Amino acid sequence: MRVTQSMLSNNMLRNLNTSYGKLGKLQEQLYSGKKITRPSDDPVIAIKGMSYRTELDRTSQYKRNIGEANTWLDTTDDALGQAGEILNRVKELVVQAANDTNVVEDREKMQKEMEQLKRQLQDIANTQIGDKYIFSGTQTDKPLYVDGVPNPNIVPGTTGLDADIEIDVFEAVRINVNTPGKDMFEEIDNFMDTIITTLQTGTGEEIGELLGDIAAGTNDSLADIHGTLLKSRADVGARQNRVELMEQRLDLHEINVTKQMSMNEDTEYAATITELVTQESIHQAGLSVGAKIIQQTLVDFIR
């Protein structure tokens, strides 16, 4: 086959274009810090990168969910802690009222404080996060108490009052964030009514019997109510610990996925710079050889 001057020229230009393309690609990798700048550069790397980004987006959503779970659990824990402090004050007042040295006016003062403590406990039962009542099960739009009495719109046995509100915190992992409180606060409210009535009409001996119930921890006593409250708070604490562990797991998962994504698509600068220098040398050599093998034209001789 006869090799013509045009064939040599075309072949040299084609090789130079290929060399320029390689140089341009290497320079893009250094400028962008990425192995590819478009999916067509390497479809496998592109598909893996999409998968890693999807996983990171999902992890970010789980972390936002964990933030919401912490809000629910922390608010519930604070509310139950406040209720426990009030019950401690109730116990102090009952102990004080059982003393026969109290006159009628003293017990009236204690009764008024008991009434205020009862209303405060009802306010705690109506604790909200945003516009959601946290102790109403899944009926978060309904408070447990309205104007000092149980909400008439909440019917005992209604579906949802004792239901759990669960939040996704990881793949196939859900955590219950609410504490249904209707029965517990209803029990507290009824017991407060008993105390107030006893302070109004009861004798020192009857108040002493109430104190005996508290000390003995019999059914429907303040000790039992306080125990139920502490049990609920312990359950909340256990869930808080689990959420914290899940948060740590998500942090590690995010670090691992980010590392894998970086290994998949980030430029290895040392290797890329070395390859760029090598390619530049090859390109310069190609230019030099091309200038020598291309013969001069007739016009060059005429000059």
Neighbour count for residue 208 (Cβ, 10 Å): 17
Residue 130 lies in a domain: yes
170 assigned to some structural domain? yes
Report the distance separating Cα 178 and Cα 68, nearest Å.
Answer: 11
Q: Domain count of the chain? A: 1
Q: What is the pLDDT along the chain (303 residues), one digit of tens a residue?
A: 666 666 766 777 777 777 767 777 767 777 777 888 888 888 898 999 999 999 999 999 999 999 999 999 999 999 999 999 999 998 888 888 877 777 778 888 888 999 999 999 999 999 999 999 999 988 899 999 999 898 888 766 556 778 889 999 998 899 999 998 988 999 999 889 888 888 887 777 777 676 655 544 444 677 788 888 999 999 999 999 999 999 999 999 999 999 999 888 878 777 777 776 777 777 777 777 666 666 555 445 555
Is the residue at 55 inside a domain? no
Judge whether 293 lies within some domain.
Answer: no
Judge whether 177 and 165 are in contact, CB under 8 Å: yes
| Helix (H) and strand (E) counts in the chain | 8, 6
Q: What residues make up the domain containing 162?
A: 65-261
- Residue 149 bridge partners (DSSP): 146
Does any domain span residue 32?
A: no
Tens digits of residue pLDDT in 89-147: 988 888 888 777 777 788 888 889 999 999 999 999 999 999 999 999 888 999 999 99
Question: Which position has the token pair 């990425």?
Answer: 34
Which contiguous run of DSSP H or E holds residue 168?
Answer: strand 166-170
Asked whether the beta carbons of 116 and 157 are under 8 A apart, the reply is no
**Has residue 43 been placed in a domain?**
no
Q: What is the Cα–Cα distance from 34 to 185, expressed in whole angstroms?
A: 59
279 in a domain, yes or no?
no
Report how far residue 158's alpha carbon sits from residue 301's, in angstroms, rounded to the nearest whole number: 105
The pTM for the full model equals: 0.78
CATH number at residue 80: 1.20.1330.10
In a domain, 57, yes or no: no
Q: What confidence tens digit (pLDDT) does each residue in 254-271 have?
A: 999 999 998 888 787 777
